[in-house]
Amino acid sequence: MKKTLVLKVNPRKPEKKKIRVAAEIIKNGGLVAFPTETVYGLGADALNPKAVLALFKAKKRPLDNPPIVHISDVKEVYRLVEEVPPKAEKLMENFWPGPLTLIFRRSKIVPDVTVAGLDTIAIRMPKHNVALALIRESGCPISAPSANLAGRPSPTTAQHVLEDLEGRIDAVLDAGPTRIGVESTVLDLAAYPPQILRPGGTPLEKLRKFLGEVEFHPIAIADKEVSVEKVRSPGVRHKHYAPNAEVIVVEGEVSGIVEKVKELVKYYEEKSVKVGVLATDETAGCYRADVVKSLGSRKNLKVVAKNLFKLLREFDKEGVDVIVAEGIPLKGLGVAVMNRLRKASGYKIVKANA
């Protein structure tokens, strides 16, 4: 097993020497995990088919699940895509760098494996000094899905990356915890009106203010399994974000959620099953389960989003068999959180009556 090199870097002023070491690995076809403002990504040279194939292998990621390509300069878009619509130019100007991924028709220089054989490519510019320094120093666009084993909760710290990928990748740039905690929003401008394929760090409300009409693709807000022929976005088809424990999501009005969670805790405890409850600050004191963790206040969805994947991984360390998770409001970042929770549960959703 190879040894994964851990390079601690300053998130504000990344040390050039360390960035160079990581960039050399990328240039030579290797794999480097690095922080973005959303989650840690696992990077490979997007124009090197062997490197991208190695990335899929290291993550055990299905080959039909296209990674997002990360860039450090808007100019790079023009050689990776066939055409940049005016709407996309405006979005790039106003939302990049940031947690928004745009889908374009890809150009011929992009290898098939990089886009999972699709005629489209998903591109974003991350808002993190370490990520941007690495892309610039590597001199190439970087394919980077989340730096975890496929299907697991996404990593928001370098430690999470190592839990899943130590010995499977060449290096990790450790710049501390990520700021947002859920992945970028993926927007398809080819649809009319433009469609969010994956809710994420840029909420619908922000995009509507800027673009006018924008809607969610049905799969982005589905509360049951939806079959998909061809995926145009990462995080759509396969089970994602799941801890080892079974996850059940309880949705509805808060008072109804609390009663239903208590019922489920009692049901599982009678079966001698170790139960965890993923609650919020407002309700955590209501529960008497083996493990109770709070995502934060329902009034602060930024904190809730930041804590989600970290807490799902903590439940695994506590050895719970079942996690009963409270649903949160479907607004702002709450939509991204609920998308991840529903997928983590494999759509095991209980509707609670108030």
**Predicted structure pTM score:** 0.95
| pLDDT at residue 127 in the model | 98
| pLDDT at residue 214 in the model | 96
Rounded Cα gap, residues 288 and 226, in angstroms: 35
Using alpha carbons, select from 320, 282, 326, 290 the residue that is nearest to residue 308: 326
| pLDDT at residue 234 in the model | 60
Alpha-carbon torsion angle 42, 25, 125, 55, nearest 10: -30
Rounded Cα gap, residues 231 and 221, in angstroms: 16
Domains and CATH numbers, the chain: 5-174 (3.90.870.10), 246-351 (3.40.50.11030)
Per-residue pLDDT of the chain (354 residues; tens, 9 = 90+): 689 999 999 999 999 999 999 999 999 999 999 999 999 999 999 999 999 999 999 999 999 999 999 999 999 999 999 999 999 999 999 999 999 999 999 999 999 999 999 999 999 999 999 999 999 999 999 999 999 999 999 999 999 999 999 999 999 999 999 999 999 999 999 888 999 999 999 999 999 999 999 999 999 999 887 765 555 566 555 567 889 999 999 999 999 999 999 999 999 999 999 999 999 999 999 999 999 999 999 999 999 999 999 999 999 999 999 999 999 999 999 999 999 999 999 999 999 975
Query: 6: part of which helix (H) or strand (E)?
Result: strand 5-8
| pLDDT at residue 225 in the model | 79
Strand pairing of 275-279 and 349-351?
Answer: unpaired
